[in-house]
Structure 1
Amino acid sequence: MASRRVRLPGADEIFRPTVPEPRPASPARRPTGRQRHDSKITVYVSSGELLDLERLRLTLRAEHDLTVDRGRIVREAIAVVLADFESRGERSTLVRRLRDDA
């Protein structure tokens, strides 16, 4: 008769070491994409910004055959802004937009 006992993973399978990815030296920064992420932040957005983000997600799916979640879009946007800042610094879109808001 077979055992009904369920095999549970051991601690070494659950608590695997995580090694941060090396930071790219060039402005060709890539987002992490589909993987398990070890850090989380909370970002508050207006209802209009959330609707725009959802419309973008649906447009990417309908017109470009890209099925991505909102988190992936945000990580892509962060990668683009960081690469622009690293390569253009003072002239980056981020610096200009933040100055315009100040």
Structure 2
Amino acid sequence: MTRRPSLPGADELFRPTGAAESVTQGWVETASAPSRRGSPRQKHTSKITVYVSDEELLALEHARLALRGIHGLAVDRGRMVREAIAIVLADLDEHGEESVLVRRLRHDE
């Protein structure tokens, strides 16, 4: 009996990630903006770089460990960030001027 782990094949790793998106006036709008969801673990076609402070990174890692240890959810930081973005954008769509994002950004001005 070998102790080698069973790994997924290339078909599983590089499967198509077709998303129902349309580009309008330079913005990407999903087919159902009010029910935004962060994308699950998959191969993504776009990348951004975000710089965070040491404290923010530590807080993100603590949250990831809490999700795993307390809630039984094994997710990576990228998934957490995509979910957080989806939540903030859904709140902006629904509440506009009164959204958490607008209020927090105005507070920083």
Structure 2: gaps spanning 5 or more residues = 1-9, 22-29
Q: Which residue is equivalent to 2:77?
A: 70
The farther-off stretch of 27-36 and 77-86 is 27-36
Confirm whether residue 60 of structure 1 aligns to residue 67 of structure 2: yes
Confirm whether residue 85 of structure 1 aligns to residue 85 of structure 2: no
Please give the TM-score of this superposition, normalised by the length of structure 1.
Answer: 0.79
Please tell me whether Structure 1 or Structure 2 has the larger radius of gyration of its CA atoms.
Answer: 1
Deviations 1:25-58 (A, max 9, x none): 3411011111100000000000000000000000
Question: Structure 1 runs of 4+ off > 2 angstroms?
Answer: 16-22
What do you get for the CA RMSD once the two structures are aligned? 2.0
Please give the TM-score of this superposition, normalised by the length of structure 2.
Answer: 0.74
How many residue pairs get matched? 89
Q: Whose RCO is larger (CA < 8 A, sep 6+)?
A: 1
Identity of aligned residues (%): 60
More strand by share: 2
Aligned ranges 1:3-82 → 2 under 5 Å: 19-22=18-21, 23-82=30-89
